[in-house]
């Protein structure tokens, strides 16, 4: 009898979540509700597991997605199946966002750069630096990953950036890299890279338009908006 009552409670909660999704759309659901629908059957123990999951990952979905499978599965109640399911769902979302971001073909602000690049680097556990090559009318010719590094830094060869710009006949360049630590504030190394890249570009009449740092929780830093370019 007790088992039957628990089963009814589970069905009732899942029905509430499903009806909310159908009537108001998934955008109206909380992070906890989305994770419950994705990972479990909706009973009290799994709601507690979702709460622990968010708590251990900084309270955000971005923090959850950034964890690898081996760490997720160790959270009480998760296990390999749920951890794998979560990472697959996150990767599907990332790929869809990346496909949509490719629709951005003209850059008019740092917001356009974020829409184009955040889906590619936001959830990475290590730093990557990319270069966007533009025409004089700000149309994107190509986006190229120029380096991949560790959690704290990545080494970028500014000569490689300029070389590709010359090959593409690009007149403008924007650098973009991520900070997995979550803080968008530039380091001394970031400032040095920006200065060297700008100087190298000027030698060939190429303009370094901006250097944008993308961090989690929609945080970012634009060198141009801070009058550093």
pLDDT in tens, 184-221: 999 999 999 999 999 999 999 999 999 999 998 788 99
pLDDT of residue 15: 77
Q: Is 214 in the same domain as 132?
A: yes
Q: Is residue 228 part of a domain?
A: no
Residue 6 clears pLDDT 70, i.e. is over it: no
Question: Do 111 and 217 reside in the same domain of the chain?
Answer: yes
178 close to 118: Cβ distance less than 8 angstroms? no
Round the average pLDDT of the chain to a whole number and report it.
Answer: 83
Cα distance between residue 53 and residue 191, in whole Å: 36
CA distance 222 to 56: 30
Q: Of 62-71, 100-109, 164-173, which gets the smallest average pLDDT?
A: 100-109
Residues 189, 116 within the same domain = yes
Q: From CA 13, how far away is CA 9, in angstroms rounded?
A: 6
Among 42, 73, 98, which residue terminates a domain? 98
Q: Summarize the confidence of residues 60-66 as an average pLDDT.
A: 80
Q: Classify residue 163: in a domain, yes or no.
A: yes
Q: Domain for residue 212, yes or no?
A: yes
Q: At 161, which CATH number?
A: 3.40.140.10
> Which one of 40, 63, 98 terminates a domain?
98
Q: Which one is predicted more confidently, 109 or 40?
A: 109
Q: How many domains does the chain have?
A: 2
Place of tokens 């949509």: 100
Bridge-partner residues for 210, per DSSP?
174
Mean pLDDT in residue range 4-14: 53
Can you tell me the distance from the alpha carbon of 12 to that of 4, in angstroms, rounded to the nearest whole number?
12
Range of the domain at 185: 107-222
Q: Which residue, 98, 122, 144, sits at the end of a domain?
A: 98
pLDDT per residue as tens digits for the range 127-181: 999 999 999 999 999 989 998 875 555 668 888 999 999 999 999 999 999 998 8
Query: Is residue 34's pLDDT more than 80?
Result: yes
Do both 213 and 171 map to the same domain?
yes
Q: Which two tokens stand for residue 199?
A: 């100087």
Helix (H) / strand (E) containing 85:
helix 79-101
Q: Both 215 and 119 in a single domain? A: yes
Is the torsion defined by CA of 219, 224, 226, 229 positive or negative?
Answer: positive
Residue 29's CB is within 10 A of a number of other CB atoms, namely 16
Q: Please check whether residue 229 lies inside any domain of the structure.
A: no
Q: Are residues 214 and 192 in the same domain?
A: yes
Whether 19 and 46 share a structural domain: yes
Question: Are 13 and 46 part of one and the same domain?
Answer: yes
On whether both 84 and 129 belong to a single domain, the answer is no
Q: Domain for residue 10, yes or no?
A: yes
More confident residue, 7 or 110: 110
Q: Is residue 217 part of a domain?
A: yes
Whether residue 178 is contained in a domain is answered as: yes
What pLDDT, on the 0 to 100 scale, is given for residue 221?
Answer: 95
Could you tell me if 92 and 57 lie in one domain? yes
Question: Does residue 175 lie in a domain region?
Answer: yes
Structure confidence at residue 91 (pLDDT): 81
Per-residue model confidence (pLDDT) at position 1: 45
Verify that 14 and 75 share a domain, yes or no. yes
Q: Do 44 and 130 reside in the same domain of the chain?
A: no
């Amino acid at each position: 009898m007790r088992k039957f009552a628990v089963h009814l409670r589970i069905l009732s909660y899942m029905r509430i979540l499903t009806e909310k999704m159908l009537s108001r759309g998934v955008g109206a659901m909380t992070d906890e509700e989305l994770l419950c629908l994705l990972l479990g059957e909706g009973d009290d123990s799994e709601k507690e597991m979702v709460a622990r999951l968010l708590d251990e990952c900084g309270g955000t979905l971005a923090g959850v997605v950034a964890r690898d499978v081996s760490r997720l599965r160790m959270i009480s109640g998760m296990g390999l199946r749920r951890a794998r399911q979560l990472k697959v769902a996150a990767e599907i979302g990332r790929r869809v966002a990346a496909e949509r971001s490719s629709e951005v073909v003209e850059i008019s602000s740092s917001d356009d750069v974020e829409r184009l690049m955040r889906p590619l680097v936001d959830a990475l556990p290590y730093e990557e630096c990319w270069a966007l090559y533009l025409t004089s009318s700000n149309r994107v010719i190509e986006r190229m990953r120029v380096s991949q590094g560790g959690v704290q830094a990545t080494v970028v060869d500014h000569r490689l950036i300029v070389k590709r710009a010359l090959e593409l006949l690009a007149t403008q360049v924007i650098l973009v890299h991520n900070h997995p630590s979550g803080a968008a504030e530039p380091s001394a190394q970031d400032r040095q890279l920006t200065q060297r890249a700008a100087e190298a570009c000027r030698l060939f009449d190429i303009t370094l338009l901006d250097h944008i740092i993308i961090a989690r929780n929609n945080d970012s830093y634009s060198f141009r908006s801070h009058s550093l370019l």
